[in-house]
Structure 1
Amino acid sequence: MSKIDHDDIGYNDTPNEHFSTVLDQRISRRNLLRGGAASAASVLLGSLGLSACGGSDDPVAPPVTSPQPPAPPAEKLLGFTAVSKSLADSVSVPAGYTATVLYALGDPLTASTTAFKNDGTDADFENRAGDHHDGMEFFGLGADGKASASATERGLLAVNHEATTNQQLSSFFIHANGGTNTLPRPAAEIDRETALHGISVVEVRKASGKWGYVRDSAFNRRVTCLTECEISGPARGNALLVTRYSKHGTKTRGTLNNCGTGRTPWGSFVTGEENWSGYFVRGAADDAARGNDKSVASLKRYGRNQGAASRHGWESGGSEDKYARWNNSKLGASTDGSDDYRNEMNGMGYIVEADPYTRTRALKKRTALGRFAHESAAFGKPVAGQPLAVYMGDYSRNEYIYKFVSTAVWSAADAAPADLLATGDKYLDSGKLYVAKFAADGSGSWIELSMSNAAIAGYAGYKFADQADILVNARLAADAVGATKMDRPEWCTVNPANGEVYFSLTNNSNRSVNPSGSSALAPDAANPRAYTDMKGSSAQSGNPNGHILRLKEGSGGSAGGTFTWDVYLFAAESGAPAGTVNLSSLTADQDFSSPDGLAFSPATGILWIQTDDGAYTDVTNCMMLAGLPGQVGDGKKTTLGYTTAAGAALNVDTYVGKAPTADTLKRFLVGPVDCELTGITETPDGKALFVNIQHPGEGTSQANIADPSKYSSQWPSNAGYGAGKRPRSATIVITRNDGGRIGS
């Protein structure tokens, strides 16, 4: 069964200029037939013991960032033997390493919550691990229960729970009979599913040489899509945020479809709300009900045409407000939306900040950073006396790359503030939001999204009222200024060695030499490939394998308006044509498809690359690689030649980073069947690496819920973890058997 990709969506049909309009043309045509063979890899998974330890609900000072010690002289980064590609239903890591399941869907977070039976009869999901573990961050705890930058054997994991596994409406693995796929859906099923979304904060600890999560820790916390959150920043109190729940537009319920994460320079946790619009329904006549006002343009740009059905049918659970909020139609008689949920979607789509140490503090949605399908938030290197920069991507086809620059300049004293969220107010509630435009010569510019920009103030597609309107409708503002449409911007991360910024561009099924339809795009310099890739006998067109782009800020630094860029890696199969597809000359120990999770290790400087792939899964399950990248400009200019259907030639110049060697890029891990590798964090000494395995077995047919032998995956139960055989998303911890740092 082909991989299900709920994120392969696109709503950007604006006619922004593409690089192809300014490039020379020449005749050429390229097609790719792909193949490969899978090889088995060893499984190094073991069970774990749980150890209990107390905590405190009182606020504690965050850790002070301190330099990591240099690597021991004998250590060689990437000295491990590359893991082979694999189709096994297991986790494969290099020889000399051990991967252990730590924290899985349904695991209880309190002493009174029953053990997870994993048969579809479990309840109380507000006190259990959620589903689809995604981005996460580690926050150290000392022996005294206080925050510690140097703690390596005890800490808190803040974990995103992005979604649940479904093929129709029901999240079928958590319901005894697979759940209900007709409307209305039972309220009891909906309540389980809403509780599985959001965030976990869970204490983890190493005892007697083994890591475990602490079931009854006072730090443990669940945030779901019904937990109250504050609206913060310029959109707080704006008319666009008024709902029946928050008549003053200052709060909303929950955080939804959380994907990538980030750690602020002051020690708090930030999470991105990704593809959240599909959870809402709109009536078939809602455009007219709204008087075809400008809210209709906003809703359509964010993926909600009138008549759009919701992903799970949560609006059908009954008359209670917690179900009504999922209906985004204009149903009330008020002029401001205070008697219905016509504005409810405007409360989703932000970077959300949390204090991981204080479970009683409400999360804050930082509206100054814009509203779109947020992935991770990567902070530029803090420099005393200079503003902070936050880099972000909008994860849908043909969307944009953004940067936020704070009004406040960085003070080293804020690395250890008494109040994490108050410090977030200082740096994240006031600043300028920019969108990226890439030029064909390897340069680029940051365009400010503000009313002072004439293109925004006079935009015919949407009349902006004020800066809050621009931020809530950042996609429309970016359309107005002609930003560059990208191949699904995913995670981003900043190289601690030189401050360069890396973006995963996962793939784009709508990239074509012969674009037709509102969302199809011709190749351009920053997104230069358009080719046919074969998965067995099935053709996959566009840019099926994706690439990793990197940029270097100009002379103005992170607050400046210019940058240079190149492509660090073009994902491809090793056997693909070198001149048109495998532009990075990847070997069998390095090839991969659809980069997703992306993070630098503060301890070692290794760049970890994770995949969320459906193009190469006939050959290998999703994987994680380790890289030692160079810098922007270390490669060469390359020209790709295409021929259009009309016989015209199209030349596309791009910039390819230095080709990796066996010493600078290799495969480190391959996951179980149908999974996505996502979420990367580590202890400060780099000796324990935490990784998330998301939705193993998602290719299972809902009709086979009663027959475990027909599940496409039984992980992690087949690795000795937990009851039942239904597959579960989970966090694993990876250690070296000799106690050394990960990646050497």
Structure 2
Amino acid sequence: MTAPTRDDPSYDLDDVGTNPSKNPSFNDLIASRLSRRHLFGLGVGTAGTALLQACGGGGGGGFLPIVPPPPAPAPPPPAPPAPLKLNFNPVAKSLADVVTVPAGYTASVLFRLGDPIAAGVAAYKNDGTDDPATYDRRAGDHHDGMTFFGMNGSNKWDAANATRGLLVMNHEAITPLFLHPTGPTALNPVYSSATSASLIDGQRNVPGEVLREFYLHGVSVIEVNKTGNTWSYKQDSSFNRRIHTLTEMAFSGPAAKTDYLKTKFSTDGSKTRGTLNNCANGTTPWGTYLTCEENWASYFRRIVATDTPNRSTKEKASFARYGISGTGRELWATVTPDTADNQYGRWNTEVLGASATADYRNGHNTYGWVVEIDPFNPSSTPKKRTALGRFGHEGACLGPVVVGKPLVWYMGDDSRNEYIYKFVSTKNWDAADIGGGMAAGDKYMDDGRLYVARFDADGTGKWLELKLGVNGITSSNTNYAFADAADVVINARLAADSAGATKMDRPEWTAVNPKNGDVYVTLTNTNASSRPIGQTNGANPRFYNDIKDGKTNQTGNPNGHIVRFADDNADPAALSFKWDVYLFGARSTAAADVNVSQLSADNDFSSPDGMWFSHAAPGLLWLQTDDGAYTDVTNCMLLAALPGKLGDGGAKVITNTDGTTTLTQNTFVGKAPGTDGLRRFLVGPKDCELTGIAESGDGRALFVNIQHPGETTARTVISDPTQYGSHWPQGGNARPRSATLVITKDDGGLIGL
């Protein structure tokens, strides 16, 4: 989500950034005279190479082998599959408060904020008066990343199932104005401005309101079924479940049961309560769901002036690096009286007691993790997998899965000037672990190697291990003295700083092309203060002014772009990779040095965010936007793409100007997609973000989330629903609701093709 300013508690740290390190930005590492021949002549590993390695193939030594008699001729190979082709008319840009899809498709609302997921729970009134105690059995708010887990008649995971499954989705945050009769109630509220509904201080004094908010964060698990041509969710399914800020969770991995995680709730550091700000997601090959805690830091209350004298030098460095300061974005810590189990007080991360086991001074350390959930076992306890590091996790995308090889997850840290990470398991994948539940997670996700990316000037890159004793991560480090393995994963951002990782422009969703293993990362946008014109180069080559509404200057790279890389030899455990820039967001009317990908009115976009490759149609990529720069022309959107491969474009010189200074910048760009390779498929309602996408086992149903319609209105004090900027999906004067769509093709075919 996009937030106004840093002095407003509704701001998102991903828009501001907390990285003060002097590590070079991605831009600074690209030489101005890179050789295209050198960059791409090194070769990119292919899926065929990976298969050869998996089957034991490869080069030999220096002696001539004994040649056996030739075998009988093999039968001719099957004909290669026909190349994919986008087969729909592009959707036009729109500012209407509706969902628009191509002719020949139907988009239906499946699951909305507040919808009941248990028998006996009443339909949602959508006026702020529903009983707060029922919200642990209702859909959460701000639907986000999600996965469809096909399920067979024996209630087991069946990835190919086309008619029944568990849909598991994140609920990133809330829009308080739409949840209570007249918005959040506070004593002596102080707003960030005369017109903003964002509280910067005060005291919440209606516990029921806060209970609603506790429950509306987190994750939903719902059973969905297809009957005829219609999808619906089963309200009384035994699999339905809400995981939220009060759900008990266990820690595993190197930080578990260490002093860093000890609190009054868990005096041995083995568990905590809840998950929140769950943005992008991930999966495992054994059939569990990964939810990722992104912008969690701003929920905690820590008044710096009173808490700083009680903190060590290391603690203060960690607080600054993760942006933990302020009143807490929802003022949860201020509700009085507190409960016996400190439901409210645990959001105050100040030193208040005699020791860490007497207060919640370590409460912030219990968030910022990848959390594993077993959707097929409703009684299972989620686990926070600390080996994958603590930062603003945007997602955890599973790389190629090969028997006998390690597993890998690629992860972005969603904030300007943050990094790209990967985690490689120590254990090699054994297909016998399919269906292994949380025990399989213990095997593969608690022991491994965590890396951060460094992008080098010659078009290659290095994966730098985050481990005590290497890459400057030592007890003698002058910026932060690392004590042990738990300290490294808890302060992964500081470890990445020390290792010399490359600063990126808001790394968000990651996606892996199943056809060739190329990894894609959306870089949503940046601004002139984060990357001035003099700091552009190859990987972030544009500096321009995208004028909004014909009058508002937006300088820097407000439309964002997508970076692509491939681990050497198609080996996810490799320590080196190659990269290029796949696609640039821009207005179709922008100059050629801005509209580098030559987008037309049928496929121009801004601020790429969500991103996911189809499993039913390998090579089909879905792109979603979370935009504030192009919203004078269109609402946010979903696009279908057929990307090529790393290195399919060419070298290019871009001319940048800020009106005073003009500079040229050498870069490498992917092949311009044209409308054959990129088309707008859907435009959402007003003020929404398109985020979260999944498909049924046969690819003939596409699930898409619409998040926070009417968000702009929610930033002003408006208690009259007729004045809200959106009324989707109910229409009339109804309050807007985040919701999940199910999209089908009228002829029953594959979506988009």
Q: Which residue of 1 aligns with 2:640?
A: 626
Contact 1:697 1:727 in 2 (8 A): yes
Q: Which residue of 2 aligns with 1:119?
A: 127
Secondary structure of the residue aligned to 2:409 is strand
Contact 2:543 2:658 in 1 (8 A): no
Contact 1:20 1:650 in 2 (8 A): no
Post-superposition CA distance 1:217-250 (Å, at most 9, x none): 1110001111110101111111111111111011
Q: 1:639 to 1:254 in 2, by over 3 A?
A: same
- For the residues of structure 1 that align with 2:80 and 2:568, how far apart are their CA atoms? 31
1:48-127 to 2 correspondences below 5 Å: 77-123=85-131, 124-127=134-137
Among residues 180, 184, 194, which one is paired with 1:179 in the alignment?
184
Among residues 599, 605, 609, which one is paired with 1:586 in the alignment?
599
Among residues 206, 209, 223, which one is paired with 2:229 in the alignment?
209
Q: 1:114 to 1:572 in 2, by over 3 A?
A: same
Contact 1:282 1:309 in 2 (8 A): yes
Post-superposition CA distance 1:187-223 (Å, at most 9, x none): 1111111110000001111113211111111110001
- Please state if 1:147 is matched with 2:161: no
Secondary structure of the residue aligned to 2:358 is coil
Q: Which residue of 2 aligns with 1:446?
A: 463
Q: 1:484 to 1:736 in 2, by over 3 A?
A: same
Contact 1:163 1:197 in 2 (8 A): yes
1:342-421 to 2 correspondences below 5 Å: 342-414=361-433, 416-417=434-435, 419-421=436-438
Q: Which residue of 1 aligns with 2:504?
A: 486
Q: 1:424 to 1:195 in 2, by over 3 A?
A: same
- Please state if 1:569 is matched with 2:577: no
Q: Which residue of 1 aligns with 2:516?
A: 498
- Please state if 1:522 is matched with 2:522: no
Secondary structure of the residue aligned to 1:717 is coil
- For the residues of structure 2 that align with 1:357 and 1:24, how far apart are their CA atoms? 50
1:129-528 to 2 correspondences below 5 Å: 129-165=139-175, 171-181=176-186, 182=189, 183-185=202-204, 186-305=206-325, 308-318=326-336, 319-320=338-339, 321-334=342-355, 337-414=356-433, 416-417=434-435, 419-457=436-474, 458-510=476-528, 514=532, 522-528=535-541
Contact 2:545 2:658 in 1 (8 A): no
Q: Which residue of 2 aligns with 1:17?
A: 24
- For the residues of structure 2 that align with 1:686 and 1:24, how far apart are their CA atoms? 43
Secondary structure of the residue aligned to 2:347 is coil
Q: Which residue of 2 aligns with 1:733?
A: 742
- Give the superposition deviation at 1:147: 2.7
Secondary structure of the residue aligned to 2:496 is helix
Among residues 627, 634, 637, which one is paired with 1:613 in the alignment?
627
Post-superposition CA distance 1:488-519 (Å, at most 9, x none): 0111011000111111111112566647xxxx
- For the residues of structure 1 that align with 2:624 and 2:715, how far apart are their CA atoms? 27
- For the residues of structure 2 that align with 1:636 and 1:326, how far apart are their CA atoms? 51
Post-superposition CA distance 1:665-706 (Å, at most 9, x none): 100000000000000000111000000000001111566644
Contact 2:473 2:495 in 1 (8 A): yes
- For the residues of structure 2 that align with 1:636 and 1:296, how far apart are their CA atoms? 46
Q: 1:514 to 1:211 in 2, by over 3 A?
A: closer
Post-superposition CA distance 1:357-396 (Å, at most 9, x none): 1110010111101100001111111122211111000001
Q: 1:133 to 1:70 in 2, by over 3 A?
A: farther
Q: What is the root-mean-square deviation in Å for CA atoms of aligned residues?
A: 2.2
- For the residues of structure 2 that align with 1:71 and 1:678, how far apart are their CA atoms? 33
Q: 1:324 to 1:427 in 2, by over 3 A?
A: same
Q: 1:741 to 1:697 in 2, by over 3 A?
A: same
1:544-563 to 2 correspondences below 5 Å: 544-555=558-569, 557-563=571-577
Contact 1:676 1:694 in 2 (8 A): yes
Partner letter of residue 471 of structure 1? V
Q: 1:172 to 1:94 in 2, by over 3 A?
A: same
Q: 1:216 to 1:452 in 2, by over 3 A?
A: same
Secondary structure of the residue aligned to 1:86 is coil
- For the residues of structure 2 that align with 1:158 and 1:173, how far apart are their CA atoms? 24
Partner letter of residue 532 of structure 1? N
User: Percent identity at matched positions?
Assistant: 54
Contact 1:512 1:530 in 2 (8 A): no
- Give the superposition deviation at 1:291: 4.0
- Give the superposition deviation at 1:470: 0.6
Q: 1:90 to 1:644 in 2, by over 3 A?
A: closer
- Give the superposition deviation at 1:3: 7.5
Q: 1:398 to 1:18 in 2, by over 3 A?
A: closer
Q: Which residue of 2 aligns with 1:743?
A: 752
Contact 1:110 1:217 in 2 (8 A): yes
Instruction: Tell me the number of residue pairs that the alignment of Structure 1 and Structure 2 aligns.
Output: 678
- Give the superposition deviation at 1:645: 9.9
- Give the superposition deviation at 1:646: 9.7
Which deviates the most, 110-119 or 671-680? 110-119
Q: Which residue of 2 aligns with 1:47?
A: none
- For the residues of structure 1 that align with 2:150 and 2:720, how far apart are their CA atoms? 42
- For the residues of structure 2 that align with 1:229 and 1:20, how far apart are their CA atoms? 40
Structure 1, unaligned stretches of length 5 or more? Answer: 27-68, 166-170, 516-520
- For the residues of structure 2 that align with 1:84 and 1:291, how far apart are their CA atoms? 55
Post-superposition CA distance 1:18-59 (Å, at most 9, x none): 466566779xxxxxxxxxxxxxxxxxxxxxxxxxxxxxxxxx
Q: 1:511 to 1:566 in 2, by over 3 A?
A: farther
- For the residues of structure 2 that align with 1:644 and 1:139, how far apart are their CA atoms? 49
Partner letter of residue 734 of structure 2? K
Secondary structure of the residue aligned to 2:304 is coil
- Give the superposition deviation at 1:259: 0.5
Secondary structure of the residue aligned to 1:447 is strand
Among residues 696, 718, 728, which one is paired with 2:731 in the alignment?
718
- Give the superposition deviation at 1:663: 1.3
Q: Which residue of 1 aligns with 2:42?
A: none
Give TM-score, length-normalised by structure 2.
0.87
Q: 1:388 to 1:191 in 2, by over 3 A?
A: same
Q: 1:256 to 1:24 in 2, by over 3 A?
A: closer
- For the residues of structure 1 that align with 2:391 and 2:492, how far apart are their CA atoms? 7
Q: Which residue of 2 aligns with 1:31?
A: none
Contact 2:32 2:666 in 1 (8 A): no
Q: 1:511 to 1:552 in 2, by over 3 A?
A: farther
Partner letter of residue 620 of structure 1? T
Contact 2:32 2:537 in 1 (8 A): no
Q: Which residue of 2 aligns with 1:60?
A: none
Among residues 605, 611, 617, which one is paired with 1:598 in the alignment?
611
- For the residues of structure 1 that align with 2:691 and 2:244, how far apart are their CA atoms? 20
- Please state if 1:654 is matched with 2:667: yes
- For the residues of structure 2 that align with 1:512 and 1:266, how far apart are their CA atoms? 40
Partner letter of residue 723 of structure 2? K
Post-superposition CA distance 1:243-271 (Å, at most 9, x none): 11111011011111000111211111001
- For the residues of structure 2 that align with 1:703 and 1:298, how far apart are their CA atoms? 33
Structure 2, unaligned stretches of length 5 or more? Answer: 5-10, 34-77, 190-201
Contact 1:349 1:373 in 2 (8 A): yes
